[in-house]
Amino acid sequence: MFFFNPYTRELINLPKCEFFFQAIAFSSAPTTGTCAVIALKPITKYIIRISICYSGAIEWITQDFSCSIGFDLYMHSDLVYANDHFYCFSSGGVLVDFDLASRTMSHQAWNEHICPYIHNENDEWFNLPKRIYLAEQKGELFLMYTCSSEIPMVYKLVSSDWVEMSSTTLDSVTIFASMYSSETSSGGPTRLGVVGMWNSVYFPKYGLHGKGCVSYSFDKGRYYQHKLLLKPTKIWQNQKELCPLRSLWIEPPLKDILDLMKR
């Protein structure tokens, strides 16, 4: 296991992790000296294994934690770092909160936020691929459900409750979805450069052989397939992967990108 900077080609090795994991994240750049890497694996519905490794360490620290209200073993979000805590959300409406400083884990459940695409008596979505994403923007958590070409459902954690977001409440936040690590951007043209990119969700690719990313605009209320800008049709449901597992978003340096890549 290692960190790799694709622009500077810098490589920083980590010790081998002896345990299989389903989600992994880190707290800061590995060059800071305070970087913590967290790997998460639900062992059973009520036991979650967490492994920790710090920059310069020679081994991982592993501990099992109990989750009395139950955690979905397979349908859960990526792992997100915010405000010295790591978070992961499961389809059963359970948010796991790992405090890095005290190395303790807590959890909270919201029955009203059980994924509707999964826990629904209607078989309409039964055979369609479903995903759960978690992201942060300036310390605030955003939760998103997707199901094939259905409208993405986005929520923001406000005062211990998940509030559904719309084009007016997203406040120019754009989500770049990935099963490994979803990124966000805000602030309009200074970050994104294009007005039409605000209040949107971007997916790396649609379909196993799709070319170019796909986005959903909350302002326009529709999907776009760049660069073709196709209108959504039923045939999209046969191209099931909005977010293939091997896809990952990377935020490039603000300056001298081409110069770094030439090196």
Identify whether the C-beta of residue 98 lies closer than 8 Å to the C-beta of residue 90. no
Identify whether the C-beta of residue 1 lies closer than 8 Å to the C-beta of residue 12. no
Which pairs from 91-98 meet CB under 8 Å and 24+ separation? 91/115, 91/118, 91/119, 91/132, 92/119, 94/67, 94/69, 94/70, 96/40, 96/48, 96/67, 96/71, 98/38, 98/40, 98/50, 98/65
pLDDT class of 263 with cuts at 50, 70, 90: low
pLDDT of 152 > 70? The answer is: yes
pLDDT class of 262 with cuts at 50, 70, 90: low
Query: In the beta sheet, which residues pair with residue 154?
Result: 144
pLDDT of 65 > 70? The answer is: yes
Phi, psi of 136 (to 5 degrees): -130, 150
pLDDT reported for residue 238: 43
Q: What is the mean pLDDT of the chain?
A: 82
Highest mean pLDDT among 14-23, 80-89, 121-130, 170-179: 80-89
Tell me the percentage of the chain whose pLDDT exceeds 70: 80
Give the angle subtended at the CA of 124 by the CAs of 123 and 128, to the nearest 5°. 100
Euclidean distance between CA atoms 65 and 85, whole angstroms: 15
Here the tokens at position 120 are 């629904």
pLDDT tens by residue, 118-137: 666 566 666 777 889 999 99
Domain locations in the chain as residue ranges: 115-262
Euclidean distance between CA atoms 222 and 218, whole angstroms: 7
3-state secondary structure of 261: helix
pLDDT tens by residue, 177-214: 998 889 998 865 444 545 567 889 998 875 555 567 88
For residue 133, count CB atoms less than 10 angstroms from its CB and return exposed for 0-12, middle for 13-18, buried for 19 or more: buried
pTM of the full structure: 0.85
Here the tokens at position 244 are 């293939």
